[in-house]
Amino acid sequence: MNLLQKQYELLLGSRMVMLEFIARELPGQIAGPIAAFDGSNVRYLLVHTANTYKHWLGNFAMNAGLMFTDDKLINDIAAIKGIYMETDELVYNFLKKFEGALDKPVINKLRGQQLSLTPLQLFTHTLTHEFHHKGQIMTMCRLLGHTPPDTDIIRT
């Protein structure tokens, strides 16, 4: 499990570079619609990503009954950072709960269908999901006229 915590901490560094860039370069643009993304925006993708952690790790795996955050209620990057502080706590609780049981299936229902997924699958899905949307967010920044920083795990 220590390995997964270390892996998550690598992701945190990448996320922080992204959030600091957005705070500095896009303070009033996070909610502006981007035509190339069907009118979606940076704020929506940031909140959606955090909600995905809540859904899979909190609600599916741990039956926590977490409420999703409505992106329209979030007005600035400080609030988004607060959401991600909660996400970090959720991830660490998840890793602690499933320590030594990464391959033991968690069985739960999603939209009436029973699913059997391992904690390792759920953890991997949420991390790769965040990186997928981080790439989209960096593309959005470029479309808004900003040159994004390197947000890979290994940054140059």
Query: How confident is the model over 139-148, as pLDDT tens digits?
Result: 999 999 999 9
Over residues 43-49, mean pLDDT: 98
Sign of the alpha-carbon torsion through 109, 110, 113, 114: negative
Q: What is the pLDDT of residue 1?
A: 58
Residue 53: phi and psi, rounded to 5, are -60, -45
- pLDDT, tens digit, for every residue of 65-108? 999 999 999 999 999 999 999 999 999 999 999 999 999 999 99
Q: What is the pLDDT of residue 82?
A: 97
Are the C-beta atoms of residues 97 and 58 closer than 8 Å to each other? no
Question: Which helix (DSSP H) or strand (DSSP E) does residue 109 occupy?
Answer: strand 106-110
Over residues 145-156, mean pLDDT: 92
Instruction: Tell me what the pLDDT averaged over the chain comes to.
Output: 96
Angstrom distance (rounded) from CA 124 to CA 36? 28
CATH architecture group of domain 37-143: Up-down Bundle (1.20)
- pLDDT, tens digit, for every residue of 130-139? 999 999 999 9
